[in-house]
């Protein structure tokens, strides 16, 4: 069935840029945390705030859709929600048995994966071991493609009868129904099976079981089978969703009509959305000169021209048109949020930020709300005064800044001043913005190496020392400077700490041991932090000596918290900010503050205590994190575990200080060195802002209430980051205080005060303006799915610290249904209830949401290592929109049909087993892992070109790099891999997978449109689930 049948209608008349403002009233953040804090699980949205979470019971509106809605309608079997007089089933616990069709018991832990052709079907446990042993960091979802197509029209998929295809509706074969879930959703939602879509319902084609799907051995419904009314604050009128674990369901049962399978090509494709956006907007100039303009997708390459609103590289919003009132926001359930990546990398062909220097006067600010001078300030009275765009206060223009106005009331120097004409720029800060009113010192980097027995024995310590000799020449510096101003220091440790004096006038480095790890102090000041260029010979001498010095060690116990404490004290003594690079490999069991025990207990899964696995084991780490942030000490952690190391505790300081966590499971020098060394090089060379504090101001009527990211918050308004680099993003949620004015829009200003790598105090300002409307259709038309998924992932991953994953999954499904039901009720043209109608801008929201629900963080299964879940939870909290997009919906590229003469990268295909072929070869990447999958009939010339071996059987899957061969196939494939890698912060280790061999089961975890081995629903099944929810809400 041709895909164009549901291709969206014409592009938005004009995409609109966004701008930001700084709101003054910061009051305490709204306490209704997304998923509730531990005590008030899911507090009701406070009055006057548009809480994004859905009050579970509110009956979401659903009605006529503007022309062009995508509708996915199911056959109207009169046994569904639309059938009069039939009570809605609530799925209270397992549904009563019913003879209409076989029921599928929940997926049992030992049961086989539902992949007919995987090598060994009992391999979940082997998979877990493999996951642990390989550096495979994501077994859940891949990435989320963005859904922004350029038409404000809904998508509809329909089954009633064969109708001629139009742009709005997609006809499915008469009577087609989605096959039932083969196993239940339980893995994904540690509980019973995926909604039985067609249970009583004209739900979108969910039909009788497919005989080809494996039936899994049953087991009693998993824990938490009963619908939870998690304390969601006051219940609202309207049908209540009560899915046990995010998905309705007991054993699936279906009405007995024989159905055909729903064609996956007939439901919205993320790939199609991405390709359409590339076709319409790729390679073009995108000028940010219009308020509320929707930018190209994160997956589309274009040239961004700042003309008054910040580039989407710096800020993306969940919608570019805010609802004008709090009630409207509550009705849509669309979270109002911005993802801000203040130091995002700008490509060579775009203008870098201008730096404005007003000398001792400093930046010009509004007297009342303290917003910085920006394009939203309106000059009046001939240019002598200006009205603040954020709080409307009238301010005098300082004499030195005065300029006359032209015939349209604009200053004549408008285009000469970045702060008047651009969305993003920097100010040089004055001493008032510095600690103790003194100019800051340049930052320092301290390298802290675990020299316990395992690290010495594996060759890791020698590898690090050799690499540092060349790496220290590449420390970041300002473009105009010849050498870096960053100073360096060195510490090694096991049960005690060793500090090294590497002063340039010494013949040999000197070691000082600190054995009192309970009260850490820095034994030397002069000679610890040095300029590498001046002390090069002493430092190189030290790096040669460290591996020999500890060669005979048999010390296997280590400390950890005192190491961070020592680094922080050294920076504090030197009165500078900086980064600690810690290379660590085991659970810190030695007697010292922050000592940890192995608390990895699979019995806690699916209980109320599961959340403790994501919380730090001892309070010491939170206190330490707070002290590090207060002293501008950022912690970068390189972990080399071969068993449980309690990442929830060890990684906490890294997350709170804006650092980065890298993990290399079962590190092998031969296979894992390239990945680790590339990560280390990239990290050291990153442009970073130190000792940073961020404030988000907004125009009147709304304010920032919640913040998610690698950040620390001491109060409700200041986002503190010991360091912030180009890959870190902060997601900010906004709530209404009052009605918004449609004429003036919603303005946002983000200001980041930081110390540059040369030691200069600066302010980086990003402004964006959004539209406001009292029409729901305008809000839906300008939504951006990629940004929504970033927001939902971070709010869900924060919520699992205080709530069971099951409750969190439930809220996510519920919110998805409410957003889509509101659109259906209020914006879509009237149609049968059995039609699923999706707004065009959100037509791929269900597939991304399903990927998020299948993420290992939200899946409580004993096969998934606890550390892996905690690692992903911490990683995602700091990600920007492009990174979460790829992480949740991976890129799958066919490379068997390469055009060797063209530079173009082949178009991606959907992440599903159906897209693979025996004669094909595919690259799959999600930002953490990369696979090269080879079908059993891969063309011999491709095998010869890539591996220099004659046939499929000769390919070794041990290699983690492709050989360097001088032929067109090899060069082309390697350049594609390098291109994918170049855009992502983490180095992806390559895994070669041959069809029908054991490791393939690992690769299949990333085919996110299919059912998951852990019980997560396929995209088709989840779409049915959401449709069922919507129908219940509409009734």
In 3D space, the residue among 919, 926, 932 whose CA is nearest the CA of residue 1008 turns out to be: 926
| 16 phi and psi angles, rounded to 5 deg | -120, 140
In this predicted structure, what is the pLDDT of residue 154? 60
Tokens describing residue 540: 């190189």
In this predicted structure, what is the pLDDT of residue 898? 87
Tokens describing residue 957: 């899957």
Tokens describing residue 716: 């409700």
Q: How far from chain centre, in Å, is Cα 597? A: 30
| 1027 phi and psi angles, rounded to 5 deg | -60, -40
Which 3 state secondary structure label does DSSP give 706?
strand
Are 427 and 357 spatial neighbours (Cβ–Cβ below 8 Å)? yes
Are 588 and 644 spatial neighbours (Cβ–Cβ below 8 Å)? no
Rounded to whole angstroms, the Cα distance separating 570 from 1000 reads: 48
Are 688 and 723 spatial neighbours (Cβ–Cβ below 8 Å)? yes
Model pTM?
0.79
Return the sign of the alpha-carbon dihedral for residues 327, 328, 332, 333.
negative
In this predicted structure, what is the pLDDT of residue 28? 38
Rounded to whole angstroms, the Cα distance separating 750 from 768 reads: 9
Q: What angle do CA 933, 938, 943 make, to 5 degrees?
A: 85
Rounded to whole angstroms, the Cα distance separating 115 from 1013 reads: 8
Question: What are the residues facing 662 on neighbouring strands?
Answer: 638
Tokens describing residue 147: 């859904």
Distances (CA, A) of 156 to 6, 255, 633, 851, 880: 7, 24, 52, 21, 30
In this predicted structure, what is the pLDDT of residue 75? 37
In 3D space, the residue among 182, 234, 227, 185 whose CA is nearest the CA of residue 209 turns out to be: 182
| 836 phi and psi angles, rounded to 5 deg | -95, 120
Mean pLDDT per 10-residue interval, the chain, length 1035 residues: 31 36 37 39 38 37 43 40 35 36 35 37 47 41 38 49 32 35 35 33 36 34 33 32 33 31 85 96 96 97 97 98 97 97 96 95 96 97 96 97 95 96 97 93 97 96 97 91 93 96 95 93 91 95 96 95 97 96 97 95 93 95 97 98 96 97 96 96 94 97 96 94 97 97 96 95 98 97 98 97 95 97 93 89 97 96 95 97 98 91 88 95 97 96 94 92 93 94 94 94 95 92 94 91
| 143 phi and psi angles, rounded to 5 deg | -105, 165
| 33 phi and psi angles, rounded to 5 deg | -55, 155
Rounded to whole angstroms, the Cα distance separating 618 from 353 reads: 43
Tokens describing residue 804: 């069971």
In this predicted structure, what is the pLDDT of residue 675? 96
Q: Which residues of 502-535 are buried (b: 16+ CB within 10 A; e: fewer)?
A: beeeeeebebeebeebeebebbbeebbbbbbeeb
- The answer for residues whose C-beta is within 8 angstroms of residue 349's C-beta and 6 or more apart is 303
In 3D space, the residue among 154, 56, 152 whose CA is nearest the CA of residue 836 turns out to be: 154
Rounded to whole angstroms, the Cα distance separating 869 from 801 reads: 12
In 3D space, the residue among 1030, 880, 895, 752 whose CA is nearest the CA of residue 144 turns out to be: 880
Question: What are the residues facing 933 on neighbouring strands?
Answer: 922, 993
Please tell me what DSSP assigns to residue 611. G
989: left (phi over 0), alpha (psi -120 to 50) or beta: beta
Please tell me what DSSP assigns to residue 783. B
Are 784 and 833 spatial neighbours (Cβ–Cβ below 8 Å)? no
Rounded to whole angstroms, the Cα distance separating 555 from 549 reads: 13
Are 876 and 816 spatial neighbours (Cβ–Cβ below 8 Å)? no
In 3D space, the residue among 974, 467, 958, 490 whose CA is nearest the CA of residue 677 turns out to be: 467
Distances (CA, A) of 997 to 123, 934, 949, 957, 1011: 12, 10, 18, 10, 19
Tokens describing residue 671: 């296979």
State the alpha helices, DSSP H only, in 241-397.
270-281, 326-332
DSSP state string for 926-959: -SSEEEEEE-TT--HHHHHHHHS-SSGGG--S--
Give the CB-side neighbour count of residue 211, counting CA atoms within 13 A.
3
In this predicted structure, what is the pLDDT of residue 4? 29
DSSP state string for 368-437: TT-PBP-TT-EEEGGGTEEE-TTT--EEEPPGGG---B-TTS-BTTGGG-HHHH-SEEEEE--GGGSGGG
Rounded to whole angstroms, the Cα distance separating 1017 from 514 reads: 54
| Cα radius of gyration (the chain) | 28
Are 606 and 221 spatial neighbours (Cβ–Cβ below 8 Å)? no
Are 532 and 458 spatial neighbours (Cβ–Cβ below 8 Å)? no
Per the document, the length of the chain is 1035
Tokens describing residue 101: 């069709």
Tokens describing residue 624: 């330490």
């Amino acid at each position: 069935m041709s895909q164009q049948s549901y291709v969206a209608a014409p592009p938005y008349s004009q995409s609109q840029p966004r701008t930001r403002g700084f709101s003054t009233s910061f009051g305490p953040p709204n306490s209704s945390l997304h998923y509730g804090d531990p005590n008030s699980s899911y507090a009701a949205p406070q009055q006057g705030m548009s809480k994004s979470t859905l009050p579970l019971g509110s009956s979401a509106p659903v009605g006529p859709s503007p022309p062009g809605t995508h509708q996915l309608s199911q056959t109207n079997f009169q046994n569904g929600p639309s059938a009069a007089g039939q009570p809605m089933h609530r799925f209270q616990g397992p549904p009563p048995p019913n003879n209409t069709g076989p029921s599928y018991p929940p997926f049992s832990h030992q049961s086989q994966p539902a992949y007919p052709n995987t090598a060994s079907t009992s391999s979940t446990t082997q998979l877990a071991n493999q996951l642990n042993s390989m550096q495979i960091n994501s077994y859940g979802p891949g990435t989320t493609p963005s859904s922004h197509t350029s038409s404000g029209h809904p998508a509809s998929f329909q089954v009633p009868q064969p109708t001629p295809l139009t742009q709005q509706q997609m006809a499915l074969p008469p009577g087609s129904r989605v096959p039932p879930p083969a196993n239940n959703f339980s893995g994904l939602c540690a509980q019973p099976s995926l909604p039985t879509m067609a249970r009583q319902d004209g739900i979108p084609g969910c039909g009788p079981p497919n005989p080809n799907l494996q039936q899994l051995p049953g087991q009693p419904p998993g824990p938490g089978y009963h619908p939870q009314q998690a304390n969601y604050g006051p219940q609202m009128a309207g049908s209540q969703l009560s899915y046990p674990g995010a998905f309705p369901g007991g054993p699936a049962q279906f009405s007995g009509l024989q159905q055909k399978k729903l064609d996956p090509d007939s439901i919205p494709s993320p790939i199609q959305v991405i390709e359409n956006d590339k076709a319409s907007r790729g390679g073009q100039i995108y000028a940010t000169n219009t308020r509320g303009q929707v930018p190209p997708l994160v997956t589309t390459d274009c040239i961004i021209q700042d003309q008054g609103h910040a580039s989407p590289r710096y800020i993306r919003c969940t919608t570019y048109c805010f609802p004008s009132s709090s009630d409207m926001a509550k009705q849509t359930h669309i979270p109002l949020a911005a993802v801000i990546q203040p130091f995002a990398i700008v490509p060579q062909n775009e203008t870098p930020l201008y730096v404005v220097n007003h000398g001792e006067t400093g930046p010009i600010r509004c007297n009342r709300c303290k917003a910085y001078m920006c394009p939203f300030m309106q000059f009046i009275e001939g240019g002598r005064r200006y009205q603040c765009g954020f709080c409307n206060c009238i301010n005098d223009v300082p004499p030195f800044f005065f300029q006359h106005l032209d015939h349209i009331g604009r200053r004549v120097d408008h285009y000469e001043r970045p702060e008047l004409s651009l969305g993003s720029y920097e100010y040089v800060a004055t001493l008032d913005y510095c600690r103790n009113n003194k100019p800051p010192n340049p930052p320092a980097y301290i390298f802290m190496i675990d020299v316990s027995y395992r690290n010495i024995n594996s060759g890791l310590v020698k590898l690090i020392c050799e690499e540092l000799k060349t790496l220290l020449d590449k420390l970041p510096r300002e473009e105009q400077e010849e050498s870096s101003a960053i100073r360096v220091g060195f510490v090694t440790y096991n049960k005690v700490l060793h500090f090294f004096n590497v002063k340039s006038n010494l013949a040999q480095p000197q070691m000082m041991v600190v054995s009192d790890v309970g009260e850490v102090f820095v034994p030397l000041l002069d000679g610890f932090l040095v300029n590498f260029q001046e002390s090069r010979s002493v430092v190189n001498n030290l790096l040669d000596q460290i591996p020999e010095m500890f060669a005979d060690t048999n010390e296997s116990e280590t400390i950890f918290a005192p190491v961070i404490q020592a680094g922080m004290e050294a920076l504090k003594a030197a009165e500078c900010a900086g980064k600690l690079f810690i290379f660590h490999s085991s659970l810190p069991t030695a007697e010292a503050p922050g000592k940890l025990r192995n608390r990895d207990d699979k019995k806690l899964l699916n209980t109320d205590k599961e959340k403790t696995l994501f919380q730090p084991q001892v309070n010491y780490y939170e206190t330490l994190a707070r002290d590090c942030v207060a002293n501008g000490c950022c912690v970068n952690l390189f972990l080399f575990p071969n068993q449980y190391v309690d990442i929830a505790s060890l990684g906490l300081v890294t997350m709170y200080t804006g650092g980065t966590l890298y993990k290399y499971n079962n590190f092998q020098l031969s296979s894992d060195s390239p990945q680790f060394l590339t990560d280390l090089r990239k990290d050291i060379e990153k442009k970073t802002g130190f000792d940073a504090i961020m404030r988000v101001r907004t125009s009147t009527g709304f304010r920032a209430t919640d913040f998610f990211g690698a950040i620390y918050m001491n109060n409700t308004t200041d986002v503190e980051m010991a360091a912030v680099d180009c890959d870190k993003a902060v997601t900010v949620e906004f709530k209404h205080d009052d009605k918004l004015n449609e004429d003036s829009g919603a303005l946002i200003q983000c200001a980041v005060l930081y110390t540059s790598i040369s030691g200069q105090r600066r302010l980086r300002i990003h402004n964006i303006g959004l539209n406001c409307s009292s029409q729901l259709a305008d809000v839906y038309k300008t939504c951006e799915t990629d940004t929504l998924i970033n927001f939902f992932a971070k709010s869900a991953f924060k919520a699992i610290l205080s709530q069971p994953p099951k409750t969190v999954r439930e809220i996510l499904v519920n919110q998805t249904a409410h957003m889509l039901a509101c659109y259906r009720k209020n914006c879509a043209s009237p149609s049968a209830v059995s039609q699923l109608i999706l707004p065009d801008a959100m037509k791929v929201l269900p597939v991304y949401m399903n990927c998020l629900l299948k993420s290992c963080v939200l899946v409580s299964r004993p096969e998934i290592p606890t550390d892996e879940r905690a690692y992903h939870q911490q990683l995602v909290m700091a990600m920007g929109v492009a990174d979460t997009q790829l992480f949740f919906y991976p890129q799958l590229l066919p490379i068997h049909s390469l055009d060797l003469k063209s530079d173009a990268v082949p178009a991606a295909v959907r992440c599903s087993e159906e897209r693979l072929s025996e004669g094909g070869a595919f690259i799959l990447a999600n930002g953490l892992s990369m696979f090269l999958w080879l079908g059993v009939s891969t063309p011999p010339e491709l095998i010869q070109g890539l591996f220099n071996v004659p046939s499929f059987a000769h390919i070794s899957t041990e290699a983690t790099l492709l050989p360097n061969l001088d032929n067109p196939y090899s060069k082309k494939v390697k350049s594609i891999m390098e291109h994918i890698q170049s855009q992502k912060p983490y180095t992806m280790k390559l895994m070669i997978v041959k069809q029908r061999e054991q490791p393939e089961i690992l690769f299949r975890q990333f085919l996110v449109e299919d059912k998951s081995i852990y019980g997560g629903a396929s995209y088709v099944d989840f779409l049915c689930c959401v449709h069922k929810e919507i129908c219940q809400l509409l009734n």
